[in-house]
Amino acid sequence: MSEHQSGADQGQNSYGFALTSLTTLFFMWGLITSLNDVLIPRLKAVFSLSYTEAMMIQFCFFFAYFVVSIPAGNLIKRIGYKSGVIVGLIVAGIGCIGFYSAAEFQSYNYFLAALFVLASGITVLQVAANPYVTILGSPSTASSRLTMTQAFNSLGTTIGPWLGGILILGTATNAVENAVTDASSVQMPYLALAGTLILMAIIFSVLRLPSVDVQDEPTESADDANDDGLSAWSYSHLVLGALAIFVYVGAEVSIGSFLINFLGETTIAGLEEADAAKYVSFYWGGAMVGRFIGAVVMQKVAAGKALAFNAVAASILVALTVFSSGAIAMWAILLVGLFNSIMFPTIFSLGVAGLGRHTSQGSGVLCLAIVGGALLPLLQGVLADNFGVQNAFALAIVCYVYIAYYGLKGSQIKEPS
């Protein structure tokens, strides 16, 4: 009996156990990703960085998606989903360990290098776990399984800033007075994360999870993609969708990256960093709530219209943030998270609609567009240095206006010329 057959014969109960195990991965990488929002103000103060320099944290983290996604996909085809999960956990754990050395050497460049390694491991995890979840069970319920696991990812992003505020920002009273103490405040939390990730790798290595043979899955070669003179790039709704993913991820990450500093401004809320970090959880928690609401609403509302509505609402809230102050500006920007909720999966589904055998190539294009999370925060950092944090949020308005256009017009499928 082949490994594939033995995995299939384990039945639905083993699938349930496997899905429960995989759900912990989604939670962990959500928590780790949102911790960047806590790292930014801490390392900005420790190393006396400009906002542009501080945004290199997000650049290094999300640029890893752009660099590692395709090699990770090739790796998974060779070693399988389960082994890919184990490799991803180990690499991410090594990245977390790198934070200890970076703090010891008080080197911002070391921190950035450790972040890139950490993000590379997270990328491998995502490339392995997302399709693994869709395969474990009936194809008709694949979307609901992935939505469920993504909800736990959102739970991780909600808890991360709150936990980081206590463990990282709450340990030092003055970030500028004692750089050594403040840099070391990240050591124990990330060592704990490293230990957890390595432990999870060990557990996954001994778990008897259903095996899926990915080596024989059909792949689309360059010749196949072009034998009719077309490729995924020939479809305008995909290309425009890739730009929508680019600006969406960029806007979402940029807003989260600046929240702690923004809420610390005297004209907004005047909060200490540790207190402001707890409010960041509302931003990411809104995305979690919005996914559940959106799953119900979008059964009756067209995806494009729902996307446009959320994008318009988000742009209005960001505009309110830029042109107001105090509690209004504070809660307006936090509420943006609620309307961010459905954007990524909705843009993704609209982008690959009607691609037929070019779907896998189109999916790859959309995944590469996540690099917006690396580039747009950097641009917002430049704006913040020159025009202030509050005014820099105006960049997100442009992003959401484009997403609204995509939902109403750009996502319409047209025959490629």
| Residue 399 confidence (pLDDT) | 98
**7-208 and 230-411 agree in CATH topology:** yes
What span, in angstroms and rounded, lies between the C-alpha atoms of 173 and 353?
52
| Residue 142 confidence (pLDDT) | 60
What span, in angstroms and rounded, lies between the C-alpha atoms of 49 and 46?
8
Q: Does domain 230-411 have CATH number 1.20.1250.20?
A: yes
| Residue 372 confidence (pLDDT) | 96
| Residue 295 confidence (pLDDT) | 76
Residues 250/263, Cβ–Cβ less than 8 Å? no
Residues 77/214, Cβ–Cβ less than 8 Å? yes
Other C-beta atoms closer than 10 Å to the C-beta of 208 total: 12
* Domains in the chain: boundaries: 7-208, 230-411
Residues 341/293, Cβ–Cβ less than 8 Å? yes
**pLDDT tens digits, residue range 257-314?**
999 999 999 999 999 988 999 999 999 999 889 888 887 787 788 889 999 999 999 9
What span, in angstroms and rounded, lies between the C-alpha atoms of 15 and 21?
10
For every residue of the chain, which 3-state class applies, written as one string?
CCHHHHHHCCHHHHHHHHHHHHHHHHHHHHHHHHCHHHHHHHHHHHCCCCHHHHCHHHHHHHHHHHHHHHHHHHHHHHHCHHHHHHHHHHHHHHHHHHHHHHHHHCCHHHHHHHHHHHHHHHHHHHHHHHHHHHHCCCHHHHHHHHHHHHHHHHHHHHHHHHHHHHHHHCCCCCCCCCHHHHHHCCHHHHHHHHHHHHHHHHHHHHCCCCCCCCCCCCCCCHHHHHCCCCCHHHCHHHHHHHHHHHHHHHHHHHHHHHHHHHHCCCCCCCCCHHHHHHHHHHHHHHHHHHHHHHHHHCCCCCHHHHHHHHHHHHHHHHHHHHHCCHHHHHHHHHHHHHHHCCHHHHHHHHHHCCCHHHHHHHHHHHHHHHHHHHHHHHHHHHHHHHHCHHHHCHHHHHHHHHHHHHHHHHCCCCCCC
What span, in angstroms and rounded, lies between the C-alpha atoms of 80 and 201?
15
| Residue 284 confidence (pLDDT) | 92
Residues 111/101, Cβ–Cβ less than 8 Å? no
Residues 119/75, Cβ–Cβ less than 8 Å? no
From 3.40.50.10800, 3.10.20.740, 3.40.50.150, 1.20.1250.20, which CATH number describes the 7-208 domain? 1.20.1250.20
| Residue 100 confidence (pLDDT) | 94
What span, in angstroms and rounded, lies between the C-alpha atoms of 201 and 184?
26
CA atoms within 13 A on the CB side of 363: 15
Q: Which stretches of the chain drop beneath a pLDDT of 50? A: 1-12, 172-181, 215-227
| Residue 383 confidence (pLDDT) | 98
